[in-house]
Amino acid sequence: MATRRQTFRLYPSKAQEKALFEARRLHCYLYNACVSHRETEYKLHRRTVTYLEQQNLLPEFKQVWVEFAQLNSQALQATVKRADYAYQRFFRGLSRKPRFKSIRRYSGWTYPARSGWKVNSTGKHGTVTLNDLGITLKMRGQAKHWGVPTTLTLVYKPSRRQWFASFTVEVAIPEPKFGSQSDLRYESIVAYDLGTETALTLFDGAEFREITNPRFTQRSEEKIRRVARLKRRKRAPKKGVKASRRWKKIHRREAQLQAKQAKAARQRRDWQHKVTSEIACRYDVGVTEKLHVKGMTRKGGKRKAGLNKSILSVGFGTLNQMITYKIEQKGGLVLMFPTQTLKPSQRCPKCGAVHKEWADLSNRYHVCSACGFEVPRDRGSVMVMYNVATNRQPGLGTSLVSLGCFSSTSKSCGAMKHLGQRKRQKLHRQANGASETPSAYAVG
């Protein structure tokens, strides 16, 4: 079983919208109350309030603020939990100190369990009933994967003035095709590498493909920062003070730029889905390097800031994640090779020699000093990964497990062991029969 998120747009009536707004306002109020409670406790007693403490205070709170009594108590707990999450992130240095949220910045609330609401849908359109508000809302949309919905989050998007119902759904994942008896089809293996300029380099044994990364957002970000800086110098509206004409003008400009950026983000997402769907559609097995994007982006300080920025804007993690879940969804497998043992970008795909000097990123075109093989850097490393997965790589051990490779589904699942066995069988056959490339299996 896997969990997927599925979102539907809601179509509330006027009265329903009012009820939704009221509930959202109350949840926002509770959130702020939690933040305030933590603030004052810390200021007065230097004490950190825990989630459990606040949760246990809820019944008392409801006695004083009776309007909260009608709301689902688990949903209220979830809101308390939201405040707790915000503080946990703050304590770990991941975000700034939680602040009070205005209703405009407060998106909605969550029903964290199956009770208190009911959805009536087959995955396409339908209705959802919120017991605490006593309303049944029409919803439209189509879920890609549908199953048993387990949690529900209601979200309001102020910029679009629209409500959404976001479910987490338990979806059955098909058994991996390569688990037990069925065979691993080598023709449907693809090795891929994520990069910055070339977002993806693919090799499926027959042909290479390079997918360039469309730059959707890069420039606009800088522009927005500049405009925001200018805006801060103009007279903003306050109580009793009108905004200056210049402020209004620049405010409009900023809004335009932000809309543009939001559009770019949507375009990028769309592009990512298209690219990854196509790959997951064509291949059953994906092979790639195990990436440490976070480490990559933190190191290097200012000097590498530009590179880091562009890495982040491609959304490395996202592309990889999308390919992985899409391939798994149809019963396929994604294998991740550890870069350290494999060194795909330093290894010659033909003879297996490792060239230290290839590690230098500026070295875009590789010529092997041992065998004379020539290959562009990115293509070379996907070739190595493909060769290893299909047992054609010279200079490496035979067992994928011994290489420290693991599948995306679990650290060492049956499918992985099976793949190792397949490799050994093939090796055995090759050794007995007439081997085409005996050198390939000399080591291991």
Q: Rule CB under 5 A: which residues touch Zn ion?
A: 348, 350-351, 353, 368, 370-371, 373
Q: Which is nearer to Zn ion, 123 or 395 (CB)?
A: 395
- Residues 287-296: b if buried by 16+ CB within 10 A, e if exposed: bbbbbebeee
Kind of pairing between the strands at 162-171 and 117-120: unpaired
Q: Which is nearer to Zn ion, 319 or 388 (CB)?
A: 388
| Three-state SS at 146 | coil
Min dist. Cβ of residue 395 to Zn ion (A) = 9
CA 307 to chain centre: 20
Q: Which is nearer to Zn ion, 57 or 353 (CB)?
A: 353
Euclidean distance between CA atoms 71 and 109, whole angstroms: 11
Q: Which is nearer to Zn ion, 320 or 381 (CB)?
A: 381
- Tell me the two tokens of residue 68: 């909260």
Euclidean distance between CA atoms 104 and 106, whole angstroms: 6
Min dist. Cβ of residue 206 to Zn ion (A) = 21
Instruction: Report the 10 Å Cβ neighbour count for 27.
Output: 24
- What residues does 211 pair with on adjacent strands? 200
Q: Which is nearer to Zn ion, 259 or 370 (CB)?
A: 370
Min dist. Cβ of residue 368 to Zn ion (A) = 3
Can you give the length of the chain in residues?
A: 444
Min dist. Cβ of residue 370 to Zn ion (A) = 4
Place of tokens 């390079």: 210
Min dist. Cβ of residue 350 to Zn ion (A) = 5
Min dist. Cβ of residue 176 to Zn ion (A) = 34
318 contacts: CB under 8 Å, gap ≥ 6: 272
Min dist. Cβ of residue 388 to Zn ion (A) = 15
Euclidean distance between CA atoms 217 and 225, whole angstroms: 13
Euclidean distance between CA atoms 324 and 287, whole angstroms: 10
Min dist. Cβ of residue 374 to Zn ion (A) = 10
Min dist. Cβ of residue 343 to Zn ion (A) = 13
Dihedral sign computed on CA atoms, order 343, 347, 350, 351: negative
Q: Which is nearer to Zn ion, 43 or 356 (CB)?
A: 356
Q: Which is nearer to Zn ion, 326 or 355 (CB)?
A: 355
The letter for the amino acid at 321 is: Q
Q: Which is nearer to Zn ion, 195 or 380 (CB)?
A: 380
Kind of pairing between the strands at 189-194 and 285-289: parallel
Q: Which is nearer to Zn ion, 353 or 401 (CB)?
A: 353
Euclidean distance between CA atoms 313 and 215, whole angstroms: 8
Euclidean distance between CA atoms 82 and 70, whole angstroms: 20
Q: Which is nearer to Zn ion, 265 or 353 (CB)?
A: 353
The H-or-E segment that residue 164 falls in is strand 162-171
Min dist. Cβ of residue 394 to Zn ion (A) = 8
Kind of pairing between the strands at 135-142 and 2-11: antiparallel
